[in-house]
Structure 1
Amino acid sequence: MEQPDSGGQIKCRYCRKIWPPEHFRTARGKPSTHCRACLDAKREETRLRRERMGPAGVRAANLWDKYRITVEQYDALRAAQQYRCGICGTHEDDITVILTGRPRLDGTPTARAVRLVVDHCHNSRRVRGLLCNNCNTMIGLSSEDPAILRAGAAYLEASMLQ
C-alpha cells in the first residue's frame, strides 16, 4: 500500500485512483495494496476463469501453480505409494475427509476434497510425496524440523513405559 498523502488518501496500485484508507482492506479486514473495487473485480475475474476451466482444469492449475506437477505426476505418485499415506500408511479409501473451508459465495457445494495431499519442502519447493491431512499437518506444525519430530516420538515412547 502506498503511503497516504497529506489528506490521508491512498493511491491504488492497480487502478491508480485515490481513495480513503478504509478502501484498502480485504473482506477479512487485512490491509491491501489494491482498493476494494479492484479486489472485487479480481475476485470476479478469478471466479469466471475457474468456472470456464471446470473442476478438472482448476485441479490441474492448482497442482501446477502450487507444486509444479501435473495431474499425471500426482496420479503416478499415488500409484507408487500404493494409494497410501507416505507416513502412517493409511490407504486413501480409509481416510475420512471432512469438508472444510469457507462456503462458496454462489451457494454451490465445495469440490470433493482429495484424500492424499501433496507434501513439499517450503524452502526448495521440492515435492516429497503424498500424505494424509493429519500427517501433513504434523509435518507443518513441527516446522518441518526432524529434531522436533524425533523429540515428540521419544516423549511418546517414554510415556508408554510408565
Structure 2
Amino acid sequence: MSDSGELDSVLCPQCRRDLPRSEFHSNRRRPNGLAYYCKRCAAERSEASRRRRGISAQRRAPVPVPDGSKWCPDCETIKPLTAFARTRASASGYHSYCLLCHNARGNETKQRLYGGSREYHLRRRYGVGQADFDEMLAGQGGVCAICGAPDPQHVDHDHRTGWVRGILCFNCNGGLGQFRDNPVFLAEAITYLKGTTWQRVLIHPGVFQMCSPMRGRPPSRSS
C-alpha cells in the first residue's frame, strides 16, 4: 500500500491478475479513480464490441510512432501532432484522423446524410432545409425581405427564440445583427439619418435645392 493509502496493485476482474495501477486507465467516477478492467482487457472488450456491431478492426501504425507525432489510419501517414485537431474526448488529446482526412470524412458524411454542406448547415443551425428555404424565398417574391435585392442567400432568425423570420441579403442581415435586432436602435438610426442627410427641398415650382441640417459645418475629407 502506498503512503496515500491506495493499493499498489489492483485486481482485474476479467484476467484475474493483480496489476500495478499504471496498467489501468483513469476513471474519476470510480472510487479508486481507475477503470474497471486493465488496459489489455479493456482493449480486447472494445475490439469484441466493435466486431459484434460490424465495425472493422482498428488499424495500427505498422512502425513505431515517434514522440510528438501521430499516425493517421486514413492516409496511413505519420504526421506531427500539429496536423491533428485537438479534442477532449480522446485520451491522447487529439482526433484519430489528421485535419485533411478529418475534413474529408466530414464532407463525405454531410453529402451522404444531407446531400451536401448547404443542407447540413441549414438543418443544423436553423432547423430548416433547402426546400423550406426555397419556399420562404418564393413567398418573398425571390428578393430580400427588407431592401428587395434579388437572390438573397442569408437566413434571418430571432437570436432569442431561434425562429426563422425570413431570407435577407448580406447587407440587411448584417445590419440587423449590428443593431442587435433592437427596434429602438433602428428607429433612432432613422431619426438620425433624417436629421443629417442632404435632401431635395422644393423652393419654387419645379425648383429644388439640396439642404441639410448640418449646413455650415465643413465637409469631411472623404467627401
Determine if the TM-score, normalized by the shorter chain, exceeds 0.5: yes
Q: Name the residue aligned to 1:90.
A: 149
Q: Name the residue aligned to 1:58.
A: 117
Q: Name the residue aligned to 1:119.
A: 156
Q: Percent identity?
A: 27
Q: Name the residue aligned to 1:48.
A: 105
Q: Of 16, 20, 36, which aligns to 2:91? A: 16
Equivalent residues in 2 for 1:72-83 (5 A)?
Answer: 72-83=131-142
| 1:15 Cα deviation after fit | 1.3
| 1:39 Cα deviation after fit | 8.6
Q: Deviations over 1:3-35 (max 9, x none)?
A: xxxxxxxxx631124xxxxxxxxxxxxxxxxx3
Greater per-residue strand proportion: 2
Q: Does 1:131 align with 2:168?
A: yes
Q: Name the residue aligned to 1:159.
A: 196
CA distance in 2, matches of 1:131, 1:90: 8
CA distance in 1, matches of 2:129, 2:158: 18
Q: Count the aligned residue pairs.
A: 111
SS in 1 for 2:95: helix
SS in 1 for 2:90: coil
Partner letter of residue 50 of structure 1? N
CA distance in 1, matches of 2:162, 2:99: 27
Q: Deviations over 1:104-156 (max 9, x none)?
A: xxxxxxxxxxx421000111000000000000000001111111111111100
| 1:76 Cα deviation after fit | 0.3
Describe the shift of the 1:39–1:157 C-alpha distance in structure 2 as closer, same or farther (beyond 3 A): farther
Higher relative contact order (CA 8 A, sep 6+): 1
Describe the shift of the 1:39–1:148 C-alpha distance in structure 2 as closer, same or farther (beyond 3 A): farther
CA distance in 2, matches of 1:128, 1:48: 33
SS in 2 for 1:38: strand
Describe the shift of the 1:39–1:145 C-alpha distance in structure 2 as closer, same or farther (beyond 3 A): farther
Q: Name the residue aligned to 2:23.
A: none
Partner letter of residue 127 of structure 1? V
Q: Structure 1 segments of 4 or more deviating over 3 A?
A: 39-44
| 1:51 Cα deviation after fit | 3.6
Q: Does 1:148 align with 2:207?
A: no
Q: Name the residue aligned to 1:32.
A: none
Larger Rg: 2
Q: Structure 2 unaligned segments of length 5 or more: list them.
A: 1-86, 198-211, 214-223
Describe the shift of the 1:67–1:43 C-alpha distance in structure 2 as closer, same or farther (beyond 3 A): farther
Describe the shift of the 1:51–1:119 C-alpha distance in structure 2 as closer, same or farther (beyond 3 A): same
Q: Deviations over 1:64-104 (max 9, x none)?
A: 00100111110001100011111111122xxxxxxxxxxxx
Describe the shift of the 1:147–1:46 C-alpha distance in structure 2 as closer, same or farther (beyond 3 A): same
